[in-house]
Amino acid sequence: MKFKKILFLEIKKENLEPHFWKRIDELSEDKVFLSVDDPNIKSNLTSVDCICTKGFVKKIDKEIIDSIPNLRYIGVLATGYGKIDAEYAAAKGVVVTNVPGYATNAVAELVFGVILERLRDLSRAKNQAAGGNYSESTFFNTSEIKGKKFGIIGLGRIGSRVAEIALGFGAEVFYFDRNRKKEIENKGAKFSDLERLVSTCDFIAIHLVLNKETENIINSSLIQKIRSRTVIVNLAPNELVDLKALEERLAMGDITYILDHSDELSQEQAVKLSKHKNCIMYPPIGYTTKEASIIKQEIFVQNIENFLKGSPTNKVN
């Protein structure tokens, strides 16, 4: 089984490695690349039966779905598929797949990168030495990870990797999750309720999925209970945290909050948070490793292959 014609929206030649294109070429008789605003987009759609998209620029709504009569499959080269009307697609028998979890290890390693940067003041040290000043005199009283209490909120794929690495550093690892995770407990991590975790840990890494239950789960009451000198890393959505309460706590100057700034943070919130010296922001660089990109492409192509074989993987609708 092959597709007749795959429409690539936003996905360009350079977005996939050559050997992935080879595999895709075996899955379709024809392919067409169109930019979102192409005036000829409509006339190119007649024989299209598959759309591949990055899923974050172009809305794939009812109108588009209806305008492609032979459409059977939409493959998203991303985890998020919010711009796609997956429900309507399902009603029309169109399968939508995404690429979940490709950046698990990439994000987990970044957690320790940003923690160590903070603990050892690496940016400042590097800049100072680049300027020819090699004195360590202003770098005393920094901190280590070993022997500290390391709390992980949300022990999914990323949280579990963070736990493994933290154990390698010799930290005492605590986790909160809806479910007990025996596998990671056997490695040495201990279950904790949220309140105890935030009030006892030296490090807190937040790795929950955002949904109605978890929105603002790190609420004002919990934020007040965080112990002094705690370093919190949130590379998950900032909606998990009551940002107003966080700001008040940051103003006290006794905790550190490290985040990567993704779309969900408004410009106003970003400006407010960035006023606090103890709030450290990064661009969303958790997922940008070569390794994550390869895994992402592999899952994306496998999704297409598996759909054509009749056993779709990572179906979201």
Site for a copy of itself, rule CB under 8 A = 105-106, 109-110, 112-114, 116-117, 119-123, 125-130, 132-136, 139-147, 164-170, 261, 270-271, 274, 280-285, 288-293
Side-chain-facing half-sphere of 107: CA atoms under 13 Å: 24
Instruction: Provide the minimum distance between the beta carbon of 69 and a copy of itself in the complex, in angstroms, as a whole number.
Output: 36
Burial class (CB in 10 A: 0-12, 13-18, 19+), 115: buried
CB of 150 or CB of 176, closer to a copy of itself:
150
Pair 308, 1: CB distance under 8 Å: yes
| Structure letter (DSSP) for residue 234 | E
Residue 235 Cβ vs a copy of itself, minimum distance, rounded to whole Å: 12
End-to-end CA distance of the chain: 22
Q: Is 70 within 8 Å of 30 (Cβ atoms)?
A: no
Counting Cβ atoms within 10 Å, is residue 60 exposed (0-12), middle (13-18) or buried (19+)?
buried
Of 143 and 306, CB closest to a copy of itself: 143
Q: Which is nearer to a copy of itself, 139 or 254 (CB)?
A: 139
Supply the minimum distance, in Å, between the C-beta of residue 238 and a copy of itself.
12
Closer to a copy of itself by Cβ: residue 97 or 105: 105
Q: Considering beta carbons, is residue 241 or 295 the nearer one to a copy of itself?
A: 295
Report the nearest approach of a copy of itself to the CB of residue 229 (Å): 11
Nearer to a copy of itself, 170 or 253 (CB): 170
Strand partners, 239: none
CB of residue 232 to a copy of itself, shortest distance in Å:
16
Instruction: Say how far apart CA 18 and CA 79 lie, in whole Å.
Output: 22
Provide, rounded to whole angstroms, the least separation between the CB of residue 281 and a copy of itself. 4
232, 226 Cβ separation under 8 angstroms: yes
Place of tokens 């680049």: 130
Backbone φ and ψ for 228, nearest 5 degrees, come out as -55, 145
- Residue 247 beta carbon to a copy of itself: minimum distance, rounded to whole angstroms: 17
In terms of CB distance, is 293 or 317 closer to a copy of itself?
A: 293
* The token pair that represents 1 in the structure block: 């089984």
